[in-house]
Amino acid sequence: MSNSIPDNDAEPVDGAQDDIARDDGAASGDGATSGDGAPPIDIRGVLVQVAGARLLLPNATIAEVLSYAPPAPIAGAPRWLLGQIRWRGWNLPMIAFGELSGLAREPGGLGSKVVVLKALSAASRLPYFAMLTQGFPRLVTVSASGLYLQSREDEVMPLGVQARVRLNDDAALLPDLEAVEAMIGEALAQAA
């Protein structure tokens, strides 16, 4: 199912290369240059299906994709903080992004996966957290010419969302991972 968005209000995302982790320097090879004279750089991203939306994440933020198993509940945690899973010696908080952002209820089950994400914030006590997904993430190539901003300046974004974008024909949300990490930290502190 494609959530295609018409081109009528789409704007190329300025500095798209800065918002998503760069691939290992691979250039697109078409000979064109960006506005600063440097050759354009294609970067690797991942489209992750969550309840109610598709997220565009930098490939470098994903540590591993796991099969879903029910997490250990955390007493007093908000509904979007599903619990904790054990991964490589760490107890990782697992979130349901669809519920956190208010997009949709997101139960785990058959076909669900868990994406382990690297924390971006230096203030985070945990170097990783987990996110419930609906199926396997899809690896994509992100180029500045194929990434368009869909959100308006005055648009109020769902909680934990930085912007609405279109990558070629795929509508997606850019999550605000640092804000999500802060929300996880606050929820864990209140539940303790």
Class of the CATH domain delimited by 41-148+158-191: mainly beta
Any bridge partners for residue 27, and if so which? 41
Contact 13, 144 (CB under 8 A): yes
Count the residues in the chain: 192
Q: What is the identity of the amino acid at 1?
A: M
pLDDT of res. 15: 42
β-pairing verdict for 53-58 and 43-50: antiparallel
pLDDT of res. 154: 85
Outline where 24-176 has alpha helix (H): 97-100
Q: Is 55 exposed, middle or buried (0-12, 13-18, 19+ CB in 10 A)?
A: buried
pLDDT of res. 33: 46
What predicted TM-score, i.e. pTM, was given to this entire model? 0.78
